[in-house]
Amino acid sequence: MMMVIQTVSLVTDSSGLSANVTYDHRALVIDGKRRVLQSGSIHYPRSTPEVWPELIRKSKEGGLEVIETYVFWNYHEPIRGQYYFEGRFDLVRFVKTVQEAGLFLHLRIGPYACAEWNYGGFPVWLHFIPGIQFRTTNNPFKEEMKRFLAKIVDLMKQENLFASQGGPIILAQVENEYGNVEWAYGVGGELYVKWAADTAVNLNTSVPWVMCQQEDAPDPIINTCNGFYCDGFTPNSPSKPIMWTENYSGWFLSFGYAVPFRPVEDLAFAVARFFETGGTFQNYYMYFGGTNFGRTAGGPLVATSYDYDAPIDEYGFIRQPKWGHLRELHKAIKLCEEYLISSDPTHQKLGANLEAHIYYKSSNDCAAFLANYDSSSDANVTFNGNVYFLPAWSVSILPDCKNVVFNTAKVISQRNIGDHPFAQQKNVNELLLASSAFSWYEEKVGISGNRSFVRPDLVEQINTTKDTSDYLWYTASIHVMPGQGKEVFLNIESLGHAALVFVNKKLVAFGYGNHDFANFSINKKIELNEGINTLDILSMMVGLQNYGAWFDVAGAGLFSVILIDLKNGKRDLSSGEWIYQVGVEGEYIGLDKISLANSSFWKQGSTLPVNKSLIWYKASFNRMIMCQITTFLAPEGKGPLALNLASMGKGQAWVNGQSIGRYWSAYLAPSTGCTKKCDYRGSYDASKCQKHCGQPAQTLYHIPRTWVHPGENLLVIHEELGGDPSKISLLTKTGQDICSFVSEADPPPVDSWKPNLGVVSSSPQVQLACERGWHIAAINFASYGIPEGNCGSFRPGACHMDVLPIVQKACVAQVECSLPVSSAYLGVAAGACPGLLKALAVEAHCSI
81 and 183: one domain? yes
| Beta carbons within 8 Å of 385's beta carbon, 6+ residues apart | none
266 and 297: one domain? yes
662 and 762: one domain? no
744 and 692: one domain? no
C-alpha 705/C-alpha 48 separation (Å) is 9
C-alpha 765/C-alpha 750 separation (Å) is 11
| DSSP for 435-455, written as a single string | GGGEEEEEPPSS--TT--EEE
73 and 212: one domain? yes
pLDDT given at position 18: 79
The verdict on pTM exceeding 0.85 is yes
847: nearest Cα among 632, 639, 642, 640: 632
572 domain residue, yes or no: yes
785 and 648: one domain? no
pLDDT given at position 10: 32
64: nearest Cα among 311, 250, 230: 311
358 domain residue, yes or no: no
Domain boundary among 316, 351, 367: 316
The domain total for the chain is 4
Catalytic residues: 177, 246
485 and 517: one domain? yes
309 and 172: one domain? yes
Domain boundary among 684, 705, 733: 733
C-alpha 277/C-alpha 230 separation (Å) is 9
pLDDT given at position 607: 94
Domain boundary among 538, 559, 583: 583
379 in Cβ contact with 372 (< 8 Å) = yes
534 and 610: one domain? no
429: nearest Cα among 845, 732, 708: 732
328: nearest Cα among 409, 227, 226, 245: 409
Q: Tell me how crowded residue 405 is: count the other CB atoms within 10 A of its CB.
A: 23
pLDDT given at position 22: 86
56 and 166: one domain? yes
411 domain residue, yes or no: no
Distances (CA, A) of 842 to 781, 818, 821, 824: 5, 11, 11, 18
Beta bridge mates, 430: 731
116 domain residue, yes or no: yes
pLDDT given at position 566: 79
Q: Cα–chain-centroid distance for residue 476?
A: 41
30 domain residue, yes or no: no
Q: Kindly give the parts of the chain with pLDDT less than 50.
A: 1-15, 623-637
Segments forming the whole domain that contains residue 564: 453-583
CA-CA-CA-CA torsion sign (491, 497, 502, 508): positive
369 domain residue, yes or no: no
